[in-house]
Amino acid sequence: MSNEEQKSLNTKNEVELDNEGRRKFFGKTALIGAGVVAAPMTAAMFAATAKAKSSEAASSVVHPGELDEYYGFWSGGHSGEVRIMGIPSMRELMRIPVFNTDSATGWGLTDESKRIKGESADIMMGDSHHPHMSMTDGRYNGKYVFINDKANSRVARIRCNVMKVDKMITIPNVQAVHGLRVQKVPQTKYVICNGEFEIPMNNDGKDSMKDVSTYRSLFSVIDAEKMEVAFQVIVDGNLDNTDADYDGKYFASTCYNSEMGMNLGEMITSERDHVVVFNLARCEAAVKAGKFKTHNGNKVPVLDGRKGSKLTRYIPVPKSPHGMNTSPDGKYFMANGKLSPTVSIIAIDKLDALFNDEIKPRDTIVGEPELGLGPLHTAFDQKGFAYTTLFLDSQIAKWNIEEAIQAYQGKKVNYIRQKLDVHYQPGHNSTSSGETRDADGKWLVSLCKFSKDRFLPVGPLKPENDQLIDISGDTMKLVHDGPTFAEPHDGTIIHRSKVKPDKVWSRDDSIFAETLAQAKRDGVDTMSENKVIRDGNKVRVYMTSVAPTYGMESFNVKLGNEVTVIVTNLDQVEDVTHGFCMTNHGVQMEIGPQATASITFTANKPGVQWYYCNWFCHALHMEMRGRMFVEAS
Ligand code: CUK
Ligand code: CUA
């Protein structure tokens, strides 16, 4: 984009900014009306589109064979997965199935994945929103990525040495786990997550389900290593997004339904909702002192953090806030206004005084800059700038944090540096390393919910648009449009030096440890033996694979047998993954080099059933197959 073009865009933005009336008016009426729905393309939008097209910047080009500088971990929304992106190329490098069921890898079908899914093994879908990597001293440590499932109230952990899920838990006492973040300092001992939907505290269907006074939302604190809920905190109102500080002391969550409304109108009645701040040391002490209750027949300690409690403080902010973001200098929690055109800046160094009752909740607010319509999420660079998505304006506002604070003190400063059109309706945005002390101000990605005219039409369902923006200079420059399938809510951008995945599996990986234990009980050496174990109606078929053959050309079972096929891939060569697919049985899985994988099914069709390798592994990959003989009795 040329300077002139940028200037004219800025002018347009300033004109809109001056339109105070429109901004102030924005509230309940606008929300219920057309305001919240994606507006149709305006002439200005078309003009912006044309301009963006001429703004090719060389900086995003990653030449063939070259590697990206950053990993992106993107959620897949209601696709239920996590995706690994390369930044700045915006190439999708890998998909990690998590809450979804995956045909290629057999996730959700294999015995290993069912074991990891545990009590939710029969749930085949999910809604993943917030992928966040574990940290040490406020910096990514490359160990785990955690992700929530709003649909089924679950949290999963991806182990980054293999980029597979190794733990999944269902959070009790809550419904719809939404906001999720990690403790940053001193390290990720805890993963924190919000229960969004309000439900009766004892949700057993026995009491009146319509008595809203019994409804609660709970904040959950999960032990990151054990993947168990350490404790929960009952709050007033509901909970939306959350984040942690850089001191290891406080967590903060937004609440958009302090009214405890049960429909839209009720939920947006109050002019103010709040941010809840949790005092970690006090919560831990309360658990230790036994000051908790348990509910619904589980053992999770539930603390009472409602108003008046010593464990929490409630900071009123303009109505219905959404995103919660901590600035990488550790100074501020930022609550994004959504229905208010503002972001509320909470000074973290005032929270001690707040918890000691020396100041009032609103005294912690040091700035409330007015940015535009529908602020949802804020990202940061290391130079004191914040980047806030404006959902309704389809823009990103770049603003100066300290100047916004000065403006709140009454000084006449224009804290807004630039507003960049994005296409269209952005939700989350994310800067390179911007959720850590290593924020470097190079890249910003805007996860836009609508793409409209940006790509070739593909029918009524359109892709979303992940836009890459160069923020290394004084002005933001749009450099790439990336179509994505439903629906990256949130993404984190992590420098490649932090992530060190393995090239082949370790033979003692815990993901298939239980399968190896069964082999041991069966007296089978999975690294060399091909053997059929008959155990009543159950048949366990152990076979090896080396490109392009299975260790077993055929095996016999009886109609109705429960068959488990356990394949160990002896190949040690990087990238030589085999598959196992049993035709006509809905059975398919991936077996990585040096891994063992197993899958169980009922042999319910008589006759010859071929099995084959479906990961292309060799010039003779087509020949890599064998027969299961199913005898009709
Ligand atoms: S939420 Cu989707 S745009 Cu689930 Cu983080 Cu804000
Ligand atoms: Cu083994 Cu294809």
Centre of ligand 1 to C-alpha 197, Å, is: 15
Phi, then psi, of 8 in degrees rounded to 5? -65, -35
Model confidence at 2: pLDDT above 70: no
pLDDT band at 59 (very low <50, low <70, confident <90, very high): low
From 338, 377, 378, 394, the mutation candidate for ligand 1 (largest count of ligand atoms within 8 A of CB) is 377
Which-ligand-closest: CA of 181?
1
Report, as an integer, the average pLDDT of 171-195. Answer: 98
pLDDT value, residue 11: 40
* Ligand 1 atom closest to 489 (CA): 2
Model confidence at 1: pLDDT above 60: no
Amino acid identity at 422? V
* Ligand 1 atom closest to 377 (CA): 6
SS3 breakdown of the chain: % helix, strand, coil, rounded to 5? 15, 40, 45
Distance CA 288, CA 567 (A): 46
pLDDT band at 131 (very low <50, low <70, confident <90, very high): very high
Cis peptide before 369 (omega within 30 of 0): no
Q: Which residue has the higher pLDDT, 219 or 34?
A: 219
pLDDT value, residue 61: 83
Confirm or reject: Cβ of 177 under 6 Å from ligand 1.
no
What is the β-pairing status of strands 625-631 and 554-558?
parallel
Centre of ligand 1 to C-alpha 490, Å, is: 7
> In the block, which residue shows the tokens 């006074």?
213
Model confidence at 23: pLDDT above 60: no
Bin 205: left if φ > 0, else alpha if -120 < ψ < 50, else beta: left
Residue 554 bridge partners (DSSP)? 627
What is the β-pairing status of strands 302-304 and 272-279?
unpaired
Centre of ligand 1 to C-alpha 254, Å, is: 12
pLDDT value, residue 60: 73
Report, as an integer, the average pLDDT of 276-288. Answer: 98
Distance CA 45, CA 237 (A): 38
- Which candidate, 345, 329, 334, places its Cα nearest to that of 438? 329
Amino acid identity at 320? S
From 36, 129, 130, the mutation candidate for ligand 1 (largest count of ligand atoms within 8 A of CB) is 129
pLDDT value, residue 128: 98
Confirm or reject: Cβ of 490 under 6 Å from ligand 1.
yes
* Ligand 2 atom closest to 547 (CA): 1
Distance CA 466, CA 489 (A): 10
**Residue 320 DSSP symbol:** S
A 10 A CB-CB count for 615 gives: 21
SS3 track for 588-603: EEEECCCCEEEEEEEC
Q: What percentage of the chain has pLDDT greater than the value 90?
A: 90
Model confidence at 189: pLDDT above 80: yes
Report, as an integer, the average pLDDT of 82-108. Answer: 98
Tokens of 405: 């604070």
Tokens of 531: 């053997």
Please give the C-alpha separations between residue 571 and each of 354, 507, 554, in angstroms, as whole numbers. 60, 12, 21
Confirm or reject: Cβ of 613 under 6 Å from ligand 2.
yes
* Ligand 2 atom closest to 577 (CA): 1
Q: What is the DSSP string of 152-190?
A: TTEEEEEETTTTEEEEEEEPTT-EEEEEEEE--SSB-SE
User: Collapsing DSSP states into helix, strand and coil, what is residue 437?
Assistant: coil
**Residues 155-182 pLDDT 10s:** 999 999 999 999 999 999 999 999 999 9
pLDDT value, residue 41: 42
Confirm or reject: Cβ of 625 under 6 Å from ligand 2.
no
What is the β-pairing status of strands 70-75 and 491-495?
antiparallel
Around 550, how many Cα atoms within 13 Å sit in the side-chain half-sphere?
A: 29
Which-ligand-closest: CA of 128?
1
Confirm or reject: Cβ of 322 under 6 Å from ligand 1.
yes
Tokens of 130: 């917030």
Confirm or reject: Cβ of 181 under 6 Å from ligand 1.
no
Model confidence at 427: pLDDT above 50: yes
Which-ligand-closest: CA of 592?
2
pLDDT value, residue 29: 39
Around 165, how many Cα atoms within 13 Å sit in the side-chain half-sphere?
A: 35
Residue nearest to atom 1 of ligand 2 (CA): 578
Confirm or reject: Cβ of 581 under 6 Å from ligand 2.
no
**Residues 524-576 pLDDT 10s:** 999 999 999 999 999 999 999 999 999 999 999 999 999 999 999 999 999 99
* Ligand 1 atom closest to 322 (CA): 6
Model confidence at 183: pLDDT above 90: yes
Centre of ligand 2 to C-alpha 614, Å, is: 6
Report, as an integer, the average pLDDT of 441-448. Answer: 98
Of 35-39, 278-282, 307-311, 312-316, the poorest mean pLDDT is in 35-39
> In the block, which residue shows the tokens 């598959």?
579
- Which candidate, 631, 628, 515, 629, places its Cα nearest to that of 582? 628
Confirm or reject: Cβ of 449 under 6 Å from ligand 1.
no
> In the block, which residue shows the tokens 């603390």?
303
Distance CA 115, CA 96 (A): 17
Model confidence at 132: pLDDT above 60: yes
pLDDT value, residue 208: 85
The model carries a pTM of 0.91
**Which residues, at least 6 apart from 275, have a Cβ–Cβ distance to it below 8 Å?**
252, 253, 254, 255, 314, 315, 317, 321, 324, 333, 335, 344, 346
Report, as an integer, the average pLDDT of 310-314. Answer: 98
Confirm or reject: Cβ of 540 under 6 Å from ligand 2.
no
Phi, then psi, of 15 in degrees rounded to 5? -60, -45
Distance CA 354, CA 310 (A): 11
pLDDT band at 433 (very low <50, low <70, confident <90, very high): very high
Evaluate whether 378 touches 387 at the Cβ level (below 8 Å): yes
Which-ligand-closest: CA of 575?
2
**Residue 610 DSSP symbol:** E
pLDDT band at 217 (very low <50, low <70, confident <90, very high): very high
Q: What is the mean pLDDT of the chain?
A: 92
Confirm or reject: Cβ of 591 under 6 Å from ligand 2.
no
Report, as an integer, the average pLDDT of 365-391. Answer: 98
Report, as an integer, the average pLDDT of 384-410. Answer: 98
**Residue 42 DSSP symbol:** P
Confirm or reject: Cβ of 428 under 6 Å from ligand 1.
yes
Instruction: Outline where DSSP puts E strands in 151-308.
Output: 154-159, 164-170, 175-182, 190-197, 199-200, 215-223, 228-235, 242-244, 250-255, 272-279, 302-304
pLDDT band at 207 (very low <50, low <70, confident <90, very high): confident
Centre of ligand 1 to C-alpha 586, Å, is: 34
pLDDT value, residue 3: 45
Residue nearest to atom 4 of ligand 1 (CA): 129
Model confidence at 45: pLDDT above 70: no
Confirm or reject: Cβ of 498 under 6 Å from ligand 1.
no
Evaluate whether 73 touches 87 at the Cβ level (below 8 Å): no
Distance CA 466, CA 429 (A): 9
Centre of ligand 2 to C-alpha 281, Å, is: 53
- 332-368 as b/e, with b when 16 or more CB fall inside 10 Å? bbbbbbbbbbbbbbbbbebbeebbeeeeebeebbbbb
Of 53-67, 114-128, 129-143, the poorest mean pLDDT is in 53-67
Centre of ligand 1 to C-alpha 216, Å, is: 21
Which-ligand-closest: CA of 376?
1
Confirm or reject: Cβ of 116 under 6 Å from ligand 2.
no
Tokens of 546: 């080396």
Confirm or reject: Cβ of 582 under 6 Å from ligand 2.
no
pLDDT value, residue 39: 43
Model confidence at 627: pLDDT above 80: yes
DSSP H or E run through 17: helix 3-18
A 10 A CB-CB count for 49 gives: 17
A 10 A CB-CB count for 10 gives: 17
Centre of ligand 1 to C-alpha 621, Å, is: 43
Report, as an integer, the average pLDDT of 314-339. Answer: 97
Distance CA 629, CA 156 (A): 39
Model confidence at 633: pLDDT above 80: no
Model confidence at 58: pLDDT above 90: no
Model confidence at 612: pLDDT above 50: yes
Centre of ligand 2 to C-alpha 104, Å, is: 13
Confirm or reject: Cβ of 616 under 6 Å from ligand 2.
yes
Q: Which residue has the higher pLDDT, 3 or 136?
A: 136
* Ligand 1 atom closest to 178 (CA): 4
